Structure 1
């Protein structure tokens, strides 16, 4: 998004509220490559908001009040005297809006696709063709919107993501540690409802609080994150949404740039109860090696006897090798308290 370059390193002060039952906190707001970073007055990151999914609660009014798309419980208030930051956020929001797929362009593609499909084979080929095309034309902005909508529906079962002023900085550290060249990974620790880990469109991975509370080191948690990254690489999470939604819902996405809310609600429920897709051992071991993380702790976490995960344990690429910790001990201890607030 070229509009971001102009505002690189722009900072302003504001008031951030994590949830309605929390007090507002004085914060420093700064614009990064793809996120709005909210930091406390000691320069510790409290949270990151995707620039692609920020909404304004009071258009045209001051002080400006913003929140993540689909989640009005977390708010950021920016005062009148921070006019440059307000204008910057508004300009970036407009740039995102212009980047959304236009109905006319998508309808044009749909017409061509329907004409080319052929009536005899349409019943078998058209659904897959529509999904494939949707995956090609749906931009990252829309993927983030769909992911945020799914998360909003899931929060009815999971509660809002865990957050605390001290532990959130550790989660940011872990997020940076686990991000790969494939794209950013955004992590959220959920209070309930998530068995181990779930990935959704937009690069988000949801983690059960047990992943941070029940283990002595972050190696197991990192293993579950790597497994979700491997599943995400094997199968586009948006494909999973569209295949579950069906042809008509996918057509609606192509023609209106929206998915029915009922479709998203149903998929959110499905994600919370379905078993994770199997992951091939060889590529996942390659990921452990590339990210310098041992695979055996993850193997024993899945099966304490090691019988069902012998390949992960015996094939550990870091066995006997000195390694950098996934997180410093102090950061891991703080992260373990993220759901206590």
Structure 2
């Protein structure tokens, strides 16, 4: 049933005023499907009001006062005894208003949608974007400072780095052979806590004591250094640290140049207990090829069964001719005693 049904043949007597200051006159009011027709007592139409543009000026009061929307100088008064007509007009006005666009609601919906977009950006896009930006703009000298501070936190779990004086030249030689000139001080051997190797912002690479003392071949620690440097080059270690620390420590680093000690302490725990990020075997073999280094000794040290490192064993780029010399035998023997001092 529509809002008009039951009212479409209504007529009533009322008082109509054409404009402000004019005399009211008695009229016949007829309710149609889309219009309110106002006629004189001879049934001659005086005006038509569109029902979509009729407003009630005194809802709930008598006599009922109606006027065209936006123009209250022209009025129509209906006495209380014309209750059926008043109810019909009121009902139609309500039905029409219900289907009109509501600017206030639209603004609310649009504002709510905009707020949701902003919140989504804040919670999902902004942290990642800010962390990525911070990692890109931090200068190398600051990265090295952060790496040293992180190493200091790590020593609580790894113990102080091994630095037997007679072994340090061999350690620098190993770094220069694998990492290249100028990086002789980037290797740090720690007595415990590190499983194989790990890397820090600023270029430092940690090696486990076991990687140095256990193998008979210097190609093994050289492989660990090579793979860890590839991992550091593939995934920025400072970005990993900031992503772990979160938005506010990253913002603090960006604005003040300092990272909270708590962020470093928490990341130090994660660095030692987390699983190393996997690398593509083809990329690893490419790195061994470029370094003129056998991949098989490193692979078997990682997994003596060979099952999980089969690609590195079968794809060894120097299986026939062997590695270009990593360390001389005397240097290798001295390096193996680095934690004895």
The CA deviation at 1:148 is: 0.5
**Distance change (3 Å), C-alpha of 1:259 and 1:207:** same
Aligned equivalents of 1:197, 1:304: Cα separation in 2: 17
CA contact (8 A) 1:184 1:203 kept: no
Aligned to 2:150: 150
Aligned to 1:250: 250
Aligned to 2:259: 259
- 3-state SS of 1:307 partner: coil
Aligned to 1:321: 321
Aligned to 1:122: 122
Aligned to 1:270: 270
Aligned equivalents of 1:234, 1:139: Cα separation in 2: 18
Aligned equivalents of 1:313, 1:185: Cα separation in 2: 30
The CA deviation at 1:199 is: 0.3
Query: Can you list the C-alpha shifts for 1:243-301, whole angstroms capped at 9, x where unaligned?
Result: 00000111111111111001111111111111111111011100001001100111111
RMSD in angstroms over aligned alpha carbons?
A: 1.8
The CA deviation at 1:122 is: 2.7
Query: Can you list the C-alpha shifts for 1:50-109, whole angstroms capped at 9, x where unaligned?
Result: xxxxxxxxxxxxxxxxxxxxxxxxxxxxxxxxxxxxxxxxxxxxxxxxxxxxxxxxxxxx
Aligned to 1:285: 285
**Distance change (3 Å), C-alpha of 1:120 and 1:192:** closer
**Distance change (3 Å), C-alpha of 1:235 and 1:185:** farther
Aligned to 2:218: 218
Aligned equivalents of 1:173, 1:274: Cα separation in 2: 29
Unaligned 5+ runs, structure 2? 1-116
- 3-state SS of 1:207 partner: strand
**Distance change (3 Å), C-alpha of 1:282 and 1:185:** farther
**Distance change (3 Å), C-alpha of 1:175 and 1:280:** same
Q: How does 1:219-238 map to 2 (within 5 A)?
A: 219-238=219-238
CA contact (8 A) 1:143 1:201 kept: yes
Aligned to 1:340: 340
CA contact (8 A) 2:179 2:226 kept: no
Q: Are positions 1:295 and 2:295 aligned together?
A: yes
Q: Are positions 1:205 and 2:210 aligned together?
A: no
CA contact (8 A) 1:185 1:203 kept: no
Under a length normalisation based on structure 2, what TM-score does the superposition of the two structures give? 0.63
The CA deviation at 1:126 is: 0.5
The CA deviation at 1:165 is: 1.8
CA contact (8 A) 1:295 1:317 kept: yes
Aligned equivalents of 2:322, 2:256: Cα separation in 1: 53
Aligned to 1:186: 186
The CA deviation at 1:136 is: 1.8
Q: Are positions 1:171 and 2:156 aligned together?
A: no
The CA deviation at 1:121 is: 2.3
Aligned equivalents of 2:281, 2:169: Cα separation in 1: 32
- 3-state SS of 2:325 partner: coil
Q: How many residues align?
A: 225
Aligned equivalents of 2:135, 2:180: Cα separation in 1: 21
Aligned equivalents of 2:316, 2:197: Cα separation in 1: 21
The CA deviation at 1:180 is: 4.0
Q: How does 1:76-87 map to 2 (within 5 A)?
A: none
Aligned equivalents of 2:124, 2:271: Cα separation in 1: 26
Instruction: Report which of the two structures shows the higher radius of gyration computed on alpha carbons.
Output: 2
Q: How does 1:35-50 map to 2 (within 5 A)?
A: none
Aligned equivalents of 1:323, 1:301: Cα separation in 2: 16
